[in-house]
Amino acid sequence: MNIVVIGTSYVGLVQGACLARLGHSVLCVDIDESKVARLREGVVPFFEPDLEEIVRSEMQAGRLSFTSKITEAVMIQPAVIFLAVGTPQSENGAADLQYLKAAARDIVAAVQSTALVVIKSTVPPGTSKKVKEWLGSDFEVASNPEFLREGKAVSDFFNPDRIVIGTTSDRAEQLLRDVYSGIFTQVFVMSPESAELTKYAANTFLASRLSLINEVANIADHVGANIKDVEAALGADPRIGNQFLRAGAGFGGSCFPKDVLALDHAAREHGYAPKLIAPIMEVNLGQTELFLQKIYNRFDNIEGRKFSVWGLAFNAGTDDVRESPALRIIEKLLERGAELCVFDPYAMASGRLVLGDKVTFAPSMMDALIGTDALLVLTEWEEFLYAPWNTIAELLSERVIFDGKNFLPHKDLRDVGFEVFGIGLN
């Protein structure tokens, strides 16, 4: 099938490259000419496991190409056009739909109305209707939200838990079933509004789980319980399940914080004031503060104190630092006059864009430790787990580790003589 994907950030590029791997002919469109030029050379502008290999091999096979001109889409006569442009958070918390509107305008000017327009971007319920108004009545519009995790996006694309199709049209449903015919999973067909709400609800649900387990971890800190033991026993109940149950210093990323606020905003716009949604983000921000408090309690004077930081990315497997708790923690320590030496295996360039010269960027995780008092571990990269702790004990002037992800082997570290702080670990 001939397919156009508009937008080549995380969602659009994974969608385009993986659809090509399924055998479709895919043209990816992005208004950013320099990005398109790099993609044409097979360079993916961010780190996502396996993606660059797929982009290169699919380009070589002639199934994947890139352009900055939507008018080129006319030439391939697409059966389906996926809209995968950004829907950033606007000042009042609502999703900003300006890029979606611009893309719709481009489509009307360039493409035949026989193409099915599918919204892949995360959008508030009711957006499919708006896009149809922008496009005009000749176009059919469907919703098909994505559920990809950064760092695992390619594997999530090929092994999804479900595909959600939001349409009331048999033709649109059949086209989307054909698009994904190489993927074996459950397909849920529903109205566009339900599909759009499913996406927001999924992220809000997951974020609420994290805030709830973080609250339990904070209680564990006060009552002397161990959150790891609690997580294991809680997760054994199939009604609760053991995924997304790891407490830490707060969650981040480009989706959860934005989508939780956008759902709250969308509900209020439609006349319903949710009671449970806003506190999810309050707890999340408070979680970072509670973690910082552990550092302030251990070192009463932060001014001039030197800390090494391992991990900048909001999640292991990505170089994305958007809304990363690591950056929130770093900024707060800098405000109090700390000196920081940071390392991340993949997110150094993106970290540098945000932090500039406010911190020192170390060439390796071991270099980051030199001359520092204590270590903060803020992203769950596997290499941090298997660090040479005996050597590290000699490098840190005080043997103190703050584990913002509760993932280090705390008992082993204590055996080597470290003082280790996590969240709710007693």
**Which positions lie near ligand UDX, rule CB under 6 A?**
146-150, 203, 206, 210, 244-246, 248, 251-253, 255-256, 314-315
Q: Which residues pair with 82 in a beta bridge?
A: 5, 118
Give the residue from 385, 380, 408 showing the smallest Cα distance to 315. Answer: 380
User: Whose Cβ is closer to ligand UDX: residue 64's or residue 255's?
Assistant: 255
User: Whose Cβ is closer to ligand UDX: residue 141's or residue 206's?
Assistant: 206
User: Whose Cβ is closer to ligand UDX: residue 152's or residue 332's?
Assistant: 152
d(CA 328, CA 333): 9
**Active-site pick, 18, 28, 255, 341:** 255
Encoded amino acid at 211, one letter: S
Which residues, 6 or more positions from 121, have their beta carbon under 8 angstroms from its beta carbon? Answer: 7, 11, 83, 84, 85, 86, 87, 100
Q: Which residues pair with 360 in a beta bridge?
A: 341
Least CB distance to ligand UDX at residue 83 (A): 16
Is 108:84 a contact under the CB 8 Å cutoff?
no
Phi, psi of 312 (to 5 degrees): -120, -30
Residue 211 token pair: 């805030």
CA 53 from chain centre, in angstroms, equals 21
DSSP structural state of residue 239: T
Kindly tell me the burial class for residue 282, based on how many C-beta atoms sit within 10 Å of its own C-beta (0-12, 13-18, 19 or more).
Answer: exposed
d(CA 20, CA 14): 10
User: Whose Cβ is closer to ligand UDX: residue 187's or residue 212's?
Assistant: 212
Give the residue from 201, 139, 135 showing the smallest Cα distance to 167. Answer: 139
Least CB distance to ligand UDX at residue 177 (A): 21
CA 224 from chain centre, in angstroms, equals 33
Least CB distance to ligand UDX at residue 44 (A): 16
Residue 150 token pair: 């950064």
Is 312:326 a contact under the CB 8 Å cutoff?
yes
d(CA 94, CA 123): 10
Least CB distance to ligand UDX at residue 246 (A): 3
Least CB distance to ligand UDX at residue 129 (A): 22
DSSP structural state of residue 185: S
Least CB distance to ligand UDX at residue 372 (A): 24
User: Whose Cβ is closer to ligand UDX: residue 30's or residue 150's?
Assistant: 150
The dihedral built from the CA positions of residue 417, 422, 425 and 426, taken in this order, carries a sign that is positive
User: Whose Cβ is closer to ligand UDX: residue 134's or residue 251's?
Assistant: 251
Least CB distance to ligand UDX at residue 22 (A): 19
User: Whose Cβ is closer to ligand UDX: residue 48's or residue 140's?
Assistant: 48
Q: Catalytic residue at 255?
A: yes
Task: Residue 113: count other Cβ atoms within 10 Å of its Cβ.
Answer: 14
Give the residue from 366, 308, 363 showing the smallest Cα distance to 333. Answer: 308
The set of catalytic residues is 255
